[in-house]
Amino acid sequence: MSNVSLTDLHLTTLPEATLSPHRYDIDWLRTLALGLLIVYHVVMSFQPWGYLFGFPQNEQSLVNLWIPMALINVWRIPILFAISGMGVWFALKRRSWQQLLQDRALRILLPFGFGIFFINPIVAYAAMIYYDTDPYYLPGQFHLWFLGNIFVYVLLLLPLLMAIKKWPDNAVLGWLRRLVQLPGGILLFALPLMVEAWLVNPADFVTYAETAHGFWLGLICFLTGFLFVSLQNTFWHALTEVRALAAAFALIMYLVRLFHFQFQGVPNGLIALESMLWMLAILGFGAIYLNRPSRALGYLSTAVYPVYIVHMPVQFLLALVILPLPLGAAFKLLLLLAGTLGGSLLLYEILLKRIRWIRPLFGMKTTPR
């Protein structure tokens, strides 16, 4: 077992933080991805079709905001599933399958169920008031839908995940290690996403929530994330090597969507390829620049999950007050964004993190670390 691969030798060229046993970059990217979702949801209230998804819609739209949002849209959910798969790999390093299921039930299933019946009815109530309809109790998944998916993925894939843990030198991982060591070989991980897009053929690739496409795409990304980190240093080296190339091609494909297609009628397979390229670029640059501890990360990585859970009722309730104001749309957007983030953080600080029995309902451990 003393053999050293060429990949291991090349790893000496990477920053020391990149090889850290704890992946601070994954913590950062999870935090930033959930934060981006909050921004995305606020922007939805300023798009002319926001009402179709139940968002309180401002009378004046900010259509040009969709230009940058369309760039984010193709990877915002897939990367969350990939990071979730990575997290399961790290969790399995120190847990049995029973402990993993118990942990995911407490951290994912419990907040998911609580949110359906006690958080999201507030969201639905605010929307009904805004659109002047008779309010009634309406539970639903809403912005928490992907939590249910993640728990199902853990259940479905658990035998495979445990087999990979038990036999880390199996033939499949060996083949994948050789693949990613080829120049650009890691880019071939886009193929499963492209096949899914071709087989399911969704009417709109970025319609993820509670759709068959969202389920299968999420499953693929979840398993891909698990396989990525199962390759360990081989993966991180290949990722950092390809990050600039992936970012360049992803940007080109986005510009083609923008200027040639005007975001209409883009083949799903091309969007799937662009999605994976963005994910590889983001993970690669994150491995170089984000894989170091910080006090801000320690706070935000704990706060972002409960803040995400409560942001939607905070946003919708604030929209009842802010959107009817006789102000410019841009100013109302800033007010709603600042109020949503600030109000959610305030709830976290004064209530959610301080009451022992409330903490598990929002994905936190009973006692702080």
Using CA of residue 116, residue 28, residue 44, residue 69, what is the dihedral sign?
A: negative
Q: Read off the pLDDT of residues 12-27 as tens digits, 9 standing for 90 and up.
A: 334 434 444 689 999 9
Distance, in Å, from the CA atom of 239 to the CA atom of 212, rounded to the nearest integer, reads 29
Q: Which amino acid is at 154?
A: V
Whether residue 191 is contained in a domain is answered as yes
Q: How many CB atoms lie within 10 A of CB 359?
A: 17
Which two structure tokens, joined as six digits, stand for 56? Answer: 């309180």
**Smallest Cα–Cα separation from 292: which of 16, 7, 8, 9?**
16
What was the pLDDT predicted at 369?
58
Q: How far is CA 359 from CA 116, 201, 298, in A?
A: 17, 40, 17
Of the pLDDT bands very low, low, confident and very high (cuts 50, 70, 90), residue 239 is very high
User: Per-residue pLDDT averaged across 32-61, rounded?
Assistant: 96
Domain membership of residue 177 (yes or no) is yes
pLDDT value, residue 366: 84
Q: Categorize the per-residue pLDDT at 9 as very low, low, confident or very high, splitting at 50, 70 and 90.
A: very low
Q: Which two tokens stand for residue 314?
A: 């905070």
Indicate whether 83 pLDDT > 80. Answer: yes
Range of the domain at 63: 24-362
* Integer-rounded Cα radius of gyration of the chain: 21
Mean pLDDT (whole number) for 62-68: 95
pLDDT score at 4: 31
Residue 88 belongs to some domain of the structure: yes
Residue 244 is predicted with a pLDDT of: 97
Centroid of chain to Cα 81: 6
**Mean confidence (pLDDT) of the chain:** 93
Task: Tell me the mean pLDDT in the region 147-164.
Answer: 97
CB within 8 Å of 219: residues ≥ 6 apart: 81, 149, 153, 156, 157
Nearest to 309, CA basis, from 31, 34, 27: 34
Q: Which tokens hold the place of 74?
A: 């193709």
> Residue 4: inside a domain, yes or no?
no
Evaluate whether residue 324 is within a structural domain: yes
Q: Which amino acid is at 271?
A: I
Count of the separate structural domains present in the chain? 1
In-domain check, residue 3? no
Distance of alpha carbon 169 from alpha carbon 175, whole angstroms: 10
* Predicted structure pTM score: 0.92
Q: Is residue 363 within 8 Å of residue 111, measured between CB atoms?
A: yes
On the question of pLDDT at 36 being above 60, the answer is: yes
Return d(Cα 246, Cα 29) in angstroms, integer: 17
Residue 9 lies in a domain: no
- pLDDT (0 to 100) of residue 367: 75
Residue 208, domain member (yes or no): yes
